[in-house]
Amino acid sequence: SVFFIAGPLTLFISFALSFWLAGKALAPMSELRRSTDAITAEHLDQRLPNPNPTDELGQLTQTINAMIERLDRSFLEIRRFTADASHELRTPLTALRAEVEVAIGKTLSPENSRQLLGGILEELVRMSRLTDQLLTLSRRDAGVEHMVLAPVAVNSVIAGVVEALRPLAESRQIRLHLEGEGVATIQIQGDEGRLRQVFINLLDNALKYTPSEGKVVVRIEKQGQTVIVVVEDSGIGIPPEHLPRVFDRFYRVDKARSREEGGTGLGLSIAESIVKAHGGTIKLQSTVGQGTVCCVILPGNGESNAGPL
């Protein structure tokens, strides 16, 4: 009889003890699940508690916290990008609305009408440039834009960009000089259209912030299989506190002047993303009152036999 009583009792105690131990062991997992469920898109600043970071569960918690941190940064970038883009689009839209209201509310002379239409066209061009840049960045962020890679003669691309912008330099009385014409044609594997966009952005920036009687020099160099393109100007320079952020989207050192010049604060960001997509780097050094030096370093693809430019 003792056996019939002790056996079930022992079994019951063993089952209860096992259930209690299992609950004790799974309690941290349940707490982790509840804490994870509480973290939403609006509360990505929260992190999961991790009392034992050395065990398997603690390592899993560290991995989840790292993932949440990356999501938090991504959401912040998206919110900032959306806010900045909305702000940038609002400015030309407001100007367009004001000018159209003037055109509707007044009887204008032919001369005033031409001036008004010229202002409307200028704002439309600004909006078109901004939307093109936003589309470029959004496609690159989404990973849906693929570059067409082919052998590109860097010398020819840069020479073409310099000649295209020479009239702008002359109109501003800035000396624009290209060094390296005698270097044998340097080829890289890249997207010619995107690389042209990089050098147009850099050279346009240099001309924009260089005063009359100043100079802008573009140099092409080759070190081993590395191609180096330097854009150096004698412009107003960039204060050191702004240098770490010049490649940020929508960032302007001189907001009033940039907007007056039609800048969007996206040119350097786009240039950096294109250079990185080619496996290269872009660096910028500047001294206030003396000028700025921008250096683009690209992996080379050997030297052709096409001879000098």
Express each pLDDT in 66-102 by its tens digit.
888 888 877 777 777 677 677 667 777 887 888 888 8
Distance CA 140, CA 223 (A): 30
Is 70 exceeded by the pLDDT of residue 10? Answer: no
| Strands 291-299 and 226-233, sheet pairing | antiparallel
264: pLDDT strictly greater than 70: no
pLDDT at residue 88, rounded to an integer: 67
Average pLDDT estimate for 270-298: 91
Range with the largest mean pLDDT of 1-10, 85-94, 146-155: 146-155
Looking at residue 162, what is its pLDDT?
Answer: 92
Confidence of residue 303 (pLDDT cuts 50, 70, 90): very low
Q: Is the model's pLDDT at 136 over the cut of 80?
A: no
* pLDDT exceeds 60 at position 254: yes
Share of the chain above pLDDT 90, in %: 17
Between CA 258 and CA 250 the distance in angstroms is: 11
Predicted confidence at residue 7, as pLDDT, reads: 59
3-state SS of the chain?
Answer: CHHHHHHHHHHHHHHHHHHHHHHHHHHHHHHHHHHHHHCCHHHCCCCCCCCCCCCHHHHHHHHHHHHHHHHHHHHHHHHHHHHHHHHHHHHHHHHHHHHHHHHHHCCCCHHHHHHHHHHHHHHHHHHHHHHHHHHHHHHHHHCCCCCCCEEEEHHHHHHHHHHHHHHHHHHCCCEEEEECCCCCCEEEEECHHHHHHHHHHHHHHHHHCCCCCCEEEEEEEEECCEEEEEEEECCCCCCCCCHHHCCCCCCCCCHHHHHHCCCCCCHHHHHHHHHHHCCCEEEEEEECCCEEEEEEEEECCCECCCCCC
Answering whether pTM is above 0.85, one says no
pLDDT band, residue 169 (cuts 50/70/90): very high
Task: Name which residue leads in pLDDT, 20 or 56.
Answer: 56
Answer whether 161's CB lies under 8 Å from 203's CB: yes
Calpha distance 254→70 (Å, rounded): 31
Q: Best-predicted range by mean pLDDT among 29-43, 50-64, 129-143, 253-267?
A: 50-64
Instruction: Output the average pLDDT for the chain.
Output: 78
pLDDT by residue (tens digit) across 28-73? 666 777 777 777 777 777 777 777 777 777 788 888 888 888 888 7
Question: pLDDT class for 202, splitting at 50, 70, 90?
Answer: very high
Q: What is residue 181's predicted lDDT score, i.e. its pLDDT?
A: 60
pLDDT by residue (tens digit) across 174-200?
999 998 765 667 788 888 988 998 999
- Which pLDDT band holds residue 294 (cuts at 50, 70, 90)? very high
